[in-house]
Amino acid sequence: MIDVNVSLGPWPFRRFPGDTPSDLVARLRRRGVTQAWAGSFEGVFHRDTSAANARLAKACETAGSGFLLPFGSVNPAAPGWREDLRRCHETHHMPGIRLHPNYHGYKLSDAAFADLLREARDRKLIVQVALNMEDERSHHPLMRIPALDPAPLPEAVAAASGVKLVVLNRMRAPAGEALEGLARAGVHFDLAMIEGAGCAGSLMSIITSRRLLFGSHAPFQYFEAAVLKLKESAITGKDEENILSGNARRLLGAE
């Protein structure tokens, strides 16, 4: 099982069980995870993303070498983002990056986002775009983060043809036509924040199991919630294999 959506470090507003790297690795291993793609909560909130990425790479190496794969944060709205991208790729040897547009203050229609997608594609990096980090209803009252509009994604992906893009933490399933368009463009989705009875099966019926990835959003969310989404949708066989590990391995180039 490959979990493509975990995060290291403390969340600023509350503590979670498993919010230290060693504890998180132990919890994931007990649940059958063999690899986890790790972003950083520091990368969401700290202004110095380069230092946050260096700490992420070191934590992954120390707590779970070969188990935790670091996905650094890059903010295309900030000066020096190209150097941050270069370091993620060339210095820390990360397989991908994780973006947080609504926290970093840019839109998916911005030219800088398009530039980042093209440069990441040329470096053969996976690009994860987190549409949310938490339910808007639970935001700190003095830090309400505006929702991110995913509508510009198809055009941005088309302009960076060949980019390996993963949408994380989509709370509401988009309309079938929009979702199919993203799938045709090669976009993948994780299951972490999709809601509703049989949500995994409903999503799979629109975009097929080849575009779904197992993501728990641990430790922010309970790991078991992601597992139950597969069980309640009665997903088995090749479809289950694709979601649990096959699609992630293909994105990494392991198959």
Q: What is the CATH number of the domain that holds 59?
A: 3.20.20.140
Q: Measured between alpha carbons, how far is 158 from 151 in angstroms, rounded to an integer?
A: 13
What is residue 11's three-state secondary structure?
coil
Q: Measured between alpha carbons, how far is 14 from 191 in angstroms, rounded to an integer?
A: 23
Question: So what's the pLDDT on residue 24?
Answer: 95
Cα dihedral 67, 213, 223, 7 sign: positive
Question: So what's the pLDDT on residue 134?
Answer: 82
Q: Give the range of the structural domain holding residue 26, as residue numbers without chain letter.
A: 2-252
Q: What domain count does the chain have?
A: 1
The encoded tokens of residue 163 equal 């980019």
* Average of per-residue pLDDT across 107-136: 94
Identity of the highest mean pLDDT range in 63-72, 129-138, 201-210: 63-72
Q: Measured between alpha carbons, how far is 27 from 21 in angstroms, rounded to an integer?
A: 10
Is the pLDDT at 105 greater than 80? The verdict is yes
Is the pLDDT at 174 greater than 60? The verdict is no
CA distances from 52 to 4, 99, 204 (A): 19, 13, 35
Is the pLDDT at 146 greater than 60? The verdict is yes
First to last CA, the chain: 15
Q: Measured between alpha carbons, how far is 204 from 44 in angstroms, rounded to an integer?
A: 30
Question: So what's the pLDDT on residue 171?
Answer: 60
Q: Measured between alpha carbons, how far is 46 from 39 in angstroms, rounded to an integer?
A: 13
Residues 45-75 have pLDDT tens digits of 999 999 999 999 999 999 988 899 999 999 9
- In whole numbers, what is the pLDDT of the chain averaged over residues? 90
CA distances from 232 to 8, 139, 198, 228, 241 (A): 29, 29, 6, 6, 16
Nearest to 57 by CA among 88, 86, 100, 90: 88
Residues 6 or more apart whose CB falls under 8 angstroms from that of 110 comprise: 76, 77
Q: Measured between alpha carbons, how far is 229 from 64 in angstroms, rounded to an integer?
A: 26
Contact yes or no for 96/252 (Cβ under 8 A):
no
Question: So what's the pLDDT on residue 108?
Answer: 93
Tell me the CB-side half-sphere exposure of residue 15, using CA atoms within 13 A: 4
Count of C-beta atoms within a 10 Å radius of residue 249 = 13
49 exposure class (CB count in 10 Å sphere: 0-12, 13-18, 19+)? buried
